[in-house]
Structure 1
């Protein structure tokens, strides 16, 4: 009798062990195996959301087969308390493990609606776009100039949505005054700006931030980023440059930035100004004259007059020798690099060539011929 009871108990124990092993194997398969999702989706994790809510949302969107397995997997991998608020792409067939990685790792949103406030040299605009998770391409929802154009329908709801992502993008060549004035118009920022940062001190770049970010704090980040860029490039500068300080390098870089929009030309343009400085020649560059007239507060909107080219200002490089006292805009990294490592050339002159670039010359006679060709191009365009 006792032997039969023991035999039955052993049988039950073996069956239970096999059942447990089967459950564990199933759980591992559900956790690490391919998921049911057929197309990529954008999963929104609200701020303060519970693991239970997120698992139910994922189940409703077809990303997982079992909400309990998802929660147990999060507990097992010690990620149950590491949920990050935001919007995250979940790829087709993503496993529970991969989904947990997407919503607990960096906290940087990878999909959803984005508002990009772009500050350009001529104007600023707010671009509202949404990332299609299936194609990984952005779909533009609206584009408008804050304070000028009417707000697009639905903007308030987008601003109120906690998953909306924000960034501010500075174009190369904007002035510090422009940046400050445009930041005042950004509806998702807060805080006052006590003073305009020094010209050239802000790094043209794209800055990701959150709604309610402080304007002054953002300017500090821009300043710190530019200081780091300048420090790195100054340390790696070419020997023998006619530049005494990092500020002079920043000033020259700002002139290069304003003189050409062709990336490959920057080192050549920088070489012209380097050669002129070494020869004791005046730089004779229009952007500095314009800055002396406008103080960087607005585009001139017209050509320079002869009287303005003769007018004595600290920024009129047709009158003064050497560099102006400060930068005339905020140059990007590539223009700073060009100023500190210019191309090797004997060029002393350049003029527009009609293609968006410039024709360079070593002698005044050659330069005059290039100028004549440019004037002919201008005349032909005027007659078209």
Structure 2
């Protein structure tokens, strides 16, 4: 009986020692060689494998204590794969919470209002945190891969900041930006003002892209949209430089000349009536809303004042005077 009691006492002492040791490491901040510390847990990793991956990355002093802690707390099957980044020192208990709650490292990618689709693709290709799956794909192949029904990619992606886990493929981000644009465009189209000269939401998107490129000051956006809509209603040429520049493509050297305005292309709104065949940029929500809810005005012209704002005029004579005042 005495032997059994001694054995029980020894077991209890060992258990207490083990518990105190684990408790010490659980509440004591882990020591990292560098911060921030990045590590990855592969899909399908077991608890033991995940702990080993963290140890090899320098996030754990050993793997067995982490495994024991996870099992004691009933979290041995809750480890989530992904890329993680530790910006400050954490305890082992906090580290367990991070990897079981899937607090993965988030990267961000900003799509800028007014970018062309080619600029969007170039920015994706230049981002080292993104997996480049679409580099060899054509525009039509990309549209097919992301489930888009449109024939042209220009204007179809919503400018915003997108958060993602490092290593995410560019097609996934393209899909998110496309679907986000569809949601905003269709909702805005359903809520549009009456009597607008658009046959479809796509036509509104085309004009919204022009409004995006022509607006220098946010407060002018509704007026800029109204001018183009008024001109469309009257059958006037839009005569907007950004469409001409878009049509010139790589031939545009930064200086728009008179011969460029006279050279006919599908995007030259000085030589062709109506709107260009596609958007010319990625319009933001503000430009879409301004296009579908333009300001109430009879203005048919506008000219830049030189401070980012525009001067609007109802007649050609007023416009010429404004040009002489602000441009000459």
TM-score (norm 2): 0.71
Higher RCO (CA 8 Å, separation ≥ 6 residues): 2
Q: 2 CA distance for matches of 1:272 and 1:253?
A: 12
Q: In the alignment, which residue of structure 1 is the partner of 2:50?
A: 50
Contact 1:71 1:80 in 2 (8 A): no
Q: In the alignment, which residue of structure 1 is the partner of 2:255?
A: 302
The secondary structure found in structure 2 opposite 1:44 is: strand
Contact 2:155 2:209 in 1 (8 A): yes
Give the superposed CA RMSD.
Answer: 4.2
Greater CA drift, 20-29 or 325-334: 20-29
Which of 280, 299, 302 is the matching residue for 1:347?
A: 299
Q: 2 CA distance for matches of 1:77 and 1:367?
A: 75
Q: In the alignment, which residue of structure 2 is the partner of 1:70?
A: 66
Q: In the alignment, which residue of structure 2 is the partner of 1:140?
A: none
Q: 2 CA distance for matches of 1:286 and 1:262?
A: 17
Which of 180, 187, 194 is the matching residue for 2:138?
A: 194
TM-score (norm 1): 0.62
Q: In the alignment, which residue of structure 2 is the partner of 1:317?
A: 269
Q: In the alignment, which residue of structure 2 is the partner of 1:102?
A: 98
Instruction: Report whether the alignment pairs 1:253 with 2:186.
Output: no
Instruction: Report whether the alignment pairs 1:87 with 2:31.
Output: no
Q: 2 CA distance for matches of 1:308 and 1:229?
A: 35
Q: In the alignment, which residue of structure 2 is the partner of 1:359?
A: 311
The secondary structure found in structure 2 opposite 1:355 is: coil
Aligned residue pairs total: 305
Q: In the alignment, which residue of structure 1 is the partner of 2:220?
A: 265
CA distance 1:343–1:103, shift in 2 (3 Å): farther
Q: 5+ unaligned residues in a row in structure 2: which ranges?
A: 43-48, 144-151
Shift of 1:248: 0.8
Shift of 1:70: 3.4
Shift of 1:336: 1.9
Contact 1:45 1:84 in 2 (8 A): no
Greater CA drift, 310-319 or 243-252: 310-319
Shift of 1:320: 3.7
The secondary structure found in structure 1 opposite 2:183 is: helix
Contact 1:178 1:297 in 2 (8 A): no
Q: 5+ unaligned residues in a row in structure 1: which ranges?
A: 61-65, 111-164, 377-384
Contact 1:180 1:193 in 2 (8 A): no
* Larger helix proportion of the pair: 2
Contact 1:309 1:318 in 2 (8 A): yes
CA distance 1:360–1:40, shift in 2 (3 Å): farther
The secondary structure found in structure 2 opposite 1:171 is: coil
Q: 1 CA distance for matches of 2:250 and 2:174?
A: 18
The secondary structure found in structure 2 opposite 1:46 is: strand
Shift of 1:255: 0.3
CA distance 1:177–1:96, shift in 2 (3 Å): closer
The secondary structure found in structure 2 opposite 1:338 is: helix
Q: In the alignment, which residue of structure 2 is the partner of 1:142?
A: none
Contact 1:312 1:319 in 2 (8 A): yes
